[in-house]
Structure 1
């Protein structure tokens, strides 16, 4: 090809029997008047006919971006592309992989089952992290990348100005989606990953095990430390609690300042109790730090099982995919009782009746320290850890 005599100043495409070097002038010609878009659209039409496999159930296409966990040399990327191409051809997958500085930008297409299996492997691949699905399409009749087991493109520091602009664009996309992901509930991210628009999911009535937790002692700390220092303490508390909730199979539905609302399945009473106890152990470890801010950090947890509404709740300005209803309010009351009774954990009678574990749930005394009556369905655990933590909450 005549263009191969030109200086390689844009992008290197690694794939057998395909264009290996593309100059800036060629790239400008392709992009002018949407020629590249038209060319991409023509890739599928150039095939004589769709394969039988593609015509049954249609094609699924996924676009994602991820961050390299360690630096990749150009040789590493070439080898990654070669292996990916060989493996993808075996299962009928096609696509393109673009390496941009420390980011991977990839488009994959093929039958849904094979594509889902590959995505799961990619998520668990230690060579990269922060995988963010940008879009998912189902039931497509044609492929964009008809014959590319995996087209591999590496945009390097030596690339031309146009390629650097593309590099910056992809980098900003990756960073923006990662930031958005930090503010998005995992359940919503899961829906997006599956190609489902969360806004189109109707609210539903269901039954959940609800946990409400609050960090205690923040008021005293506010009198001694600046806002940023306090935020670090609250974040440490929420990190401990959230990790324990997720590890035991629950989901954090909402953060409430220095507290949270989480939920488990209706049969998740044992998991909820175990998560709270693990969180209390984690908070105990925080208090052992050589930092006065953490020495009084404590938590109070309330648990109940009952009906909730799960779905999109909010306004046109801000929407949360969360839970609301009787069980949430009851769990809040249990958490308030825990603080009033100087008990780190209080559960309802509904929880006591459904748990399967060997928990020793005992009813709270009839009145608290201020003499106010307590509900007769409030229970706590006379666990050694609970008793060890009790003086911290009372103080």
Structure 2
């Protein structure tokens, strides 16, 4: 649901940009402690993975497609504040390198996909997790529920923005019905993808899932060998060991995260590269939900080309290169760029916190 330039008037675009700057600045401050503990590589690779999966549009029917927004997934993995920054990095790379989403509409896209989906998705998953048993499958179920609701929520916010500053008059009732209808279907795909990813990570490294730590889901027990040679089980709670020499502290446990090893980071990077460079070739060519609605209701013609539409990687291609190699190279370049920018941004945030 990347909003192009031209759909909203300048005043509305400036307003959404101001709100987005404030929200991202606040989230960056709140994410510093978490990044300092878990390291900048993890959120950087979460950004890269979301970028990669967003390249894979899936059909939802009647010549319309959708793609992962990723706000709920990122929030479940690294927490809501860090997730907002992760999605902002993704949207920046997409807008500046690939002309995906307008430059004047960047604030709108950050608000819709980087703030609304994270806030709504994380809120829903925490509510669902609170009523489910503290088990690993509960993390997957809660994350899927948050993803399901986050997409139509973002669509509804777009309807509100268009009511305030839409460039072409359209019946708001028809706009709301069409946007919610298509994005409810896209939300189902978002929930399936989010649940599958969380299930895979929870099965292998549940300590890396923020939602599993903050909801105190059942994590695998650790075994500590004492000085006397006796093996003692130590329950893992909140991402940290809890035993006689390390008391259970709910607050610290909810904040402290595990730092992934090089092996886990390498696997995450390889999966992202495989999705962007391989699976994306199977993506649906049909317009996404917003494009489809805009074409049906007649405001699609208001879309303006991005200022970087003539860039070397615009439209996820490579200038002067044809065939399947172009989107593959563009996808790989996007994953690398997003991972580097994301890791650099979070490393800078952690360094500033340490200096202060």
TM-score (structure 1 length as normaliser):
0.24
Which structure has greater helix proportion? Answer: 2
Structure number with larger C-alpha Rg: 1
Which structure has greater strand proportion? Answer: 1
